[in-house]
Homo-oligomer: A and B are copies of this chain.
């Protein structure tokens, strides 16, 4: 939907829209079995919503494409993930809860191993411990000094992964990766595509050359590789696009960060599901759109733990009961992508979705599961359309054309 068309049809009212997102919700039967995690779960409250509402399956990017968390969530927020591409460095910064400013150029760093000629022998430095990573980052922070008062931040992510943020005026983000993505080569020189990015590249060069000396006697982490440089820019906000005052209730940094990208309000981290409920209640009157994110469905599936993913879905189902009592105008339940326990990773499989609203024209689906969703009234749809279906059901969209 083009912004200029959208602007013409947005209608504000006092309706409430809730997006309850279970990360990696879509699943797959384990080998030799027939039910997915969602189908195996005992979820009376979600089944009731599916019965009263409409169901379907969503493609976050397009059929066959496995989405990362960034594209998966942008699509849920109604931003075409093939149009709004978020740099790796920005996602890494969001993932550690680093608050980016518009003077920042973030990048993702890997500690790596190079031989005496500077040729990369291990792009991940043997996956050093997160503890060692922290020590090395501290050492680097204490010794590196960039010219022209350019500030830098270096933060541990996990294992060999860290985040570098350069902060200064007139810095460009179009800097090529120094990571050649293979061993047997030397790290590449940072290279900028335009004058501002060439400035950035110069400071990155300084940074890397000083780090190289500092790490000289370390083993295996004696060098760094940088990739995914990008200038941090806010996206058009959900309020500008949809007229929605939006709030994110999420425990994990990456999702809180993605919500900030579209200018959602992000209150302090809720430690428990109960705290998430309190945040919802406390803010219910002041917002229109509630992005509620549950992470553990994905985490357990990434570990291959089918039963724990099922349990997590059942916990969320119990949480849903009180949500139903709150009676928002539109409830949507879905995921940002599939993560089948059988695959232990994100996957390309379409994601089950349900939407309940007063005028959703219900289908015959009476349970929430992948096979049931095949027969639902939402059909199979690109995730980026979901927000419009929600807005329509909240009667927040006017007629398009006379």
A interface residues with partner B (beta carbon < 8 Å): 1-2, 5, 9, 28-29, 36, 57, 61-72, 81-82, 85-86, 88, 91-92, 228, 340, 342-343, 345-350, 359, 361-364, 370-371, 374-381, 385-393, 397-402
Q: Tell me whether B81 and A389 are in contact (CB under 8 A).
A: no
Quick one: which of A92, A348, A402 has the most chain B CB within 10 A?
A402
Q: Tell me whether B392 and A1 are in contact (CB under 8 A).
A: no
Interface of A is mostly: loop
Closest residue to A381 on the B side, CB-wise?
Answer: B63
Closest residue to A28 on the B side, CB-wise?
Answer: B361
Instruction: Give Cα A66–Cα B391 distance, bound, in whole angstroms.
Output: 11
Q: What's the minimum C-beta distance from A402 to chain B, rounded to whole angstroms?
A: 4
Closest residue to A364 on the B side, CB-wise?
Answer: B371
Q: Tell me whether A62 and B388 are in contact (CB under 8 A).
A: yes
Which chain B residues lie closer than 8 Å to A371 at the CB level?
Answer: 363-364
Q: Tell me whether A399 and B62 are in contact (CB under 8 A).
A: no
Instruction: Give Cα A67–Cα B364 distance, bound, in whole angstroms.
Output: 26
Q: What's the minimum C-beta distance from A29 to chain B, rounded to whole angstroms?
A: 8
Closest residue to A92 on the B side, CB-wise?
Answer: B402
Q: What's the minimum C-beta distance from A3 to chain B, rounded to whole angstroms?
A: 13
Instruction: Give Cα A340–Cα B360 distance, bound, in whole angstroms.
Output: 11
Which chain B residues lie closer than 8 Å to A343 at the CB level?
Answer: 359
Instruction: Give Cα A376–Cα B379 distance, bound, in whole angstroms.
Output: 11
Instruction: Give Cα A387–Cα B63 distance, bound, in whole angstroms.
Output: 9
Which chain B residues lie closer than 8 Å to A29 at the CB level?
Answer: 361-362
Q: Tell me whether A397 and B348 are in contact (CB under 8 A).
A: yes
Q: Tell me whether B66 and A397 are in contact (CB under 8 A).
A: yes
A347 touches which one: B65, B359, B370 (CB < 8 A)? B359
Q: What's the minimum C-beta distance from A162 to chain B, rounded to whole angstroms?
A: 14
Q: What's the minimum C-beta distance from A302 to chain B, rounded to whole angstroms?
A: 12
20 pairs of residues in contact across A and B, judged by CB atoms under 8 Å: A28-B361, A57-B379, A64-B389, A65-B400, A66-B392, A66-B399, A68-B400, A68-B402, A70-B402, A71-B401, A81-B400, A81-B401, A86-B401, A340-B361, A346-B399, A350-B377, A361-B370, A364-B371, A374-B379, A380-B380
Closest residue to A340 on the B side, CB-wise?
Answer: B359
Closest residue to A389 on the B side, CB-wise?
Answer: B64
Q: What's the minimum C-beta distance from A326 to chain B, rounded to whole angstroms?
A: 21
Instruction: Give Cα A65–Cα B5 distance, bound, in whole angstroms.
Output: 11
Instruction: Give Cα A391–Cα B343 distance, bound, in whole angstroms.
Output: 16
Quick one: which of A28, A66, A362, A397 has the most chain B CB within 10 A?
A66
Q: Tell me whether A67 and B399 are in contact (CB under 8 A).
A: yes
Instruction: Give Cα A308–Cα B341 distance, bound, in whole angstroms.
Output: 46
Q: Tell me whether B361 and A61 are in contact (CB under 8 A).
A: no
Q: Tell me whether B359 and A389 are in contact (CB under 8 A).
A: no
Closest residue to A396 on the B side, CB-wise?
Answer: B64
With contact pairs A389-B348, A402-B91 given, residues A5 and B82 touching in the complex (Cβ less than 8 Å): yes
Instruction: Give Cα A345–Cα B377 distance, bound, in whole angstroms.
Output: 20
Which chain B residues lie closer than 8 Å to A364 at the CB level?
Answer: 371, 374
Q: What's the minimum C-beta distance from A72 to chain B, rounded to whole angstroms?
A: 8
